[in-house]
Amino acid sequence: PASAKRVLITGAAGQIGYALCPMVAAGRMLGPDQPVILHLLDIAPAAAALEGVKMELLDAAFPLLQGIVTSTDPAEACSGVDVAVMVGGFPRKAGMERKDVMGKNVSIYAAQARALEANASKDVKVLVVANPANTNALMLAEHAPSIPPENITAMTRLDHNRALAQVAERAGVPVTKVKNVIIWGNHSSTQYPDVSHGTVDGKPIREALKGSEGWLAEEFVPTVQQRGAAIIKARGLSSAMSAASSACDHVRNWLLGTAPGTWVSMGVLSDGSYGQPKGLVYSFPCTCKAGEWSIVQGLEIDAVSAEKMRATAEELAEERELALECIKEAAA
């Protein structure tokens, strides 16, 4: 049998953590034959809750779960990890300015970058879920120069899955029949969910949804962009189960590969593909093989799409400026 892989989940006592731990322990992230050891990190005020999560994981008697490390010390939690899912962060509270939230999170990601660099496996694969996910990932990369930048990604897979689900609902088909939608740019309301290259049962989405042109043009994009807010309105809490499931999808496809002819959306360091500025963590369509992603090349981009892709890049550039300012101020 394969030797166990160590998976770090930060913010493990939170909402997403509670949904994610059992999924990883049940093999949804690394596959049904891969034993795992969970490393669960949270902050001191959540230490008791974290022990509760550990108790429940033990009680569930997951056959693949070979060990559980709980800690409030980033260095200890990062020790020897093969995969790091960064869910912990500082939430925006009523009355807080965007910059205040950014400042808190940038400091957290700079510190955790150093902990990963010093303690994780040399080939650690990092997925940043906590918001602002793309910019947190960028700051993590900047503060962990010895981790290859291609090993650090941000999650837009939930947005990707939401887009697949919307199209499937509209077409009245199982979600497995829908492929190759794209989320371009930031995991925020400026993201651009794009159906131009997607298919339903092998047919272009626009053809398969004949008669729904109005819905595609007017409703699809804002529905996907604002789905997070709709969940908060309905549940009184932000998306957690779907975020956890999408984190498993992201890492599984990254490490085990994407199906032939299928791509997924991942926030990755831009190499300038499709004219999007280098040095931003930007969501692109990616195919993966054995732990390496590559950006799908050669897709035709019309003028409407190009403008939306540029707008979300502009927001990411602003976020980067703000993050760098926060770092400068924290150092001063």
Sign of CA dihedral 100, 104, 109, 114: positive
Query: Judged by CB under 6 A, does residue 81 bind ligand NAI?
Result: no
Computed on alpha carbons and rounded to an integer, the radius of gyration of the chain in Å comes to 19
Is the Cβ of residue 27 or residue 267 nearer to ligand NAI in the bound state? 267
Query: Judged by CB under 6 A, does residue 327 bind ligand NAI?
Result: no
DSSP secondary structure letter of residue 260:
T
Site string for ligand NAI, 185-204 (x = CB under 6 A): --x-----------------
- Shortest separation between residue 298's beta carbon and ligand NAI, angstroms: 27
Q: Is 180 annotated as a binding residue?
A: no
Query: Judged by CB under 6 A, does residue 42 bind ligand NAI?
Result: yes
The C-alpha torsion from 211 through 216 and 217 to 223, rounded to 10°, is 140
- Shortest separation between residue 90's beta carbon and ligand NAI, angstroms: 6
Site string for ligand NAI, 97-136 (x = CB under 6 A): -----------x--------------------xxx-x---
Q: Is 15 annotated as a binding residue?
A: yes
Beta strand spans in the chain (E) = 5-10, 36-41, 65-71, 83-86, 125-128, 152-154, 178-179, 182-184, 192-194, 199-200, 203-204, 264-269, 281-289, 292-295
Contacts of 33 (CB under 8 A, 6+ apart): 1, 2, 27
Query: Judged by CB under 6 A, does residue 62 bind ligand NAI?
Result: no
Stretch that binds ligand NAI, among 13-21, 24-32, 164-172, 193-201 (CB under 6 A): 13-21
Per CB under 6 A, the list member of 6, 8, 14, 110 interacting with ligand NAI is: 14
Per CB under 6 A, the list member of 101, 115, 158, 224 interacting with ligand NAI is: 158
Question: Does 160 qualify as catalytic in the annotation?
Answer: no
Residue of 143, 160, 187, 197 marked catalytic: 187
- Shortest separation between residue 243's beta carbon and ligand NAI, angstroms: 4
DSSP states of 56-110 as a string?
HHHHTT-TTEEEEEEES-HHHHHTT-SEEEE---PPP-TT--HHHHHHHHHHHHH
> Which two three-digit tokens encode residue 130?
């906590």
Contacts of 260 (CB under 8 A, 6+ apart): none
Query: Judged by CB under 6 A, does residue 43 bind ligand NAI?
Result: yes
Residue 118: how many other CB atoms lie within 10 Å: 13
Is the Cβ of residue 42 or residue 194 nearer to ligand NAI in the bound state? 42
Q: Is 129 annotated as a binding residue?
A: yes
Query: Residue ranges of the alpha helices (H) in 152-240?
Result: 157-171, 205-208, 213-214, 221-225, 227-235
Q: Is 14 annotated as a binding residue?
A: yes
Distance CA 210, CA 11 (A): 44
Query: Judged by CB under 6 A, does residue 285 bind ligand NAI?
Result: no
Per CB under 6 A, the list member of 8, 13, 147, 178 interacting with ligand NAI is: 13
Distance CA 262, CA 285 (A): 10
Query: Active-site residue numbers?
Result: 187
Binding residue ranges: 11-17, 42, 92, 98, 105, 129-131, 162
Binding site for ligand NAI (CB under 6 A): 10-11, 13-17, 41-43, 46, 87-91, 108, 129-131, 133, 155, 158, 187, 238-240, 243
